[in-house]
Amino acid sequence: GAGVSQSPSNKVTEKGKDVELRCDPISGHTALYWYRQSLGQGLEFLIYFQGNSAPDKSGLPSDRFSAERTGGSVSTLTIQRTQQEDSAVYLCASSSWGSPKAFFGQGTRLTVV
């Protein structure tokens, strides 16, 4: 695709429900990143994929968070039993092999009520 695509753009969910956030990276980009931006806080690294494997998942805040990537392309970030503190904008980025320049999607705004 022309850019990184994220869906949905907005998601309102009830506390305790599970949510799935989707990221479609730029075609051919092998690296994929998930970040979170909470109100009043800086962007926070969550997880990094190289191909389908995740060499760095150190930023996932709890075991309620998981992510996978299939076919070296689409990635899904799943949050189980959502809590109000999970409310944030979740940003996905991708980059090509050997290049540190990352291209960001427009994010998914998650609101847990």
Partner 1 sequence: KQEVTQIPAALSVPEGENLVLNCSFTDSAIYNLQWFRQDPGKGLTSLLLIQSSQREQTSGRLNASLDKSSGRSTLYIAASQPGDSATYLCAVMGGNNRKLIWGLGTSLAVNP
Residue 58's alpha-carbon distances to 3, 36, 53, 75, 105, in angstroms, are 26, 13, 14, 17, 21
What is the C-alpha to C-alpha distance for residues 28 and 21, in angstroms, rounded to an integer? Answer: 21
Q: Minimal CA–CA distance to 87: which of 34, 16, 39? A: 39
Based on the shown chain and the rule CB under 8 A, indicate whether residue 4 belongs to the binding site for partner 1: yes
Please give the residues from 45 up to 104 whose contact with partner 1 meets the rule CB under 8 A: 45, 48, 50, 56, 59, 91, 93, 100-104
Span near partner 1 by CB under 8 A; candidates 17-25, 27-35, 65-73, 79-87: 27-35
Interface positions with partner 1 (CB under 8 A) = 4, 31, 33, 35, 41-45, 48, 50, 56, 59, 91, 93, 100-107
